[in-house]
Amino acid sequence: KLPVIVLVGRPNVGKSTLFNRLTGTRDALVADLPGLTRDRQYGSGVHENRAFVVVDTGGLMPESADPLAALAEEQARMALEEADHVLFLVDVRQGRVPADEAIAKHLRKLGKPLTLVVNKSEGRPRAEASADFFALGLGEPLTISAEQGQGVHQLLTAVLEVL
Ligand code: GDP
Ligand code: MG
């Protein structure tokens, strides 16, 4: 069975951008509109001769009253159940926000292998980009730019090494 990598994080952190980069497609919708990906989206990728499945989600939106957001939330929870490894994306440009804390709490309870990924880090020193997110209590974050590709190769190497 191919390892399943699931992307989670609040809307607009860059999950779909990373999905497209990992799968080499433009399948996932990327937009400035938060919450655009309502369903789970499956793709596959290959890294150094190893194939993997990647799942994009509509994101986890704790305490949202919007029924469509609730649906995306349900989809994300279902995706998490099938995850062999979870990539939890956060946005360095927004910094650590309460929704990140809520998702971190949920993921700690879930107890799946997880990597904290600080996205939109282009043009920022690595230490500066990750400092704010240590407080999430999920270990050392990896910094990437899903849009420009920096750090994505290292991220895949690190994830596939432990899968
Ligand atoms: P999602 O809601 O988590 O799936 O986020 P999207 O992939 O749709 O991206 C949300 C917005 O962030 C879009 O405008 C993307 O172009 C932008 N974005 C994604 N990755 C990066 C990045 O690495 N750097 C910057 N500066 N913007 C990014
Ligand atoms: Mg999306």
Residues in contact with 94: Cβ distance below 8 Å, sequence separation at least 6, in sequence order: 13
Segment 12-21, tens digit of pLDDT: 999 999 999 9
CA of 17 to the centre of ligand 1 (A): 6
Nearest CA to ligand 1 atom 19: 14
* Ligand of minimum distance to the alpha carbon of 21: 1
Q: Any idea which residue has 């899968």 for tokens?
A: 163
Count of Cβ atoms closer than 10 Å to residue 129 Cβ: 23
Q: Check residues 92 and 35 and name the one with the higher pLDDT.
A: 92
Question: What is d(CA 81, CA 148) in angstroms, rounded to the nearest whole number?
Answer: 30
In eight-state DSSP terms, residue 25 is: S
Identify the pLDDT of residue 157: 97
Distance 13 CA to ligand 1 centre (A): 6
| Contact between residue 116 and residue 133 where contact means Cβ atoms under 8 Å apart | yes
CATH of 4-162, one of 3.40.50.300, 3.40.50.12780, 3.40.718.10, 3.40.190.10: 3.40.50.300
Residue 41 banded pLDDT, cuts 50, 70, 90: confident
Torsion of CA 2, 6, 7, 8, to 10 degrees: 180
DSSP state of 10: S
Tens of pLDDT, residues 106-140: 899 889 999 999 999 999 998 888 999 999 999 99
Would you list the domain boundaries of the chain? 4-162
Nearest to 50 by CA among 90, 84, 78, 89: 84
CA–CA distance from 141 to each of 50, 76, 86, 118, 126 (Å)? 23, 21, 13, 6, 10
Whether 113 has a binding-site annotation, put simply, is no
Please give the structure tokens belonging to residue 98: 């309460």
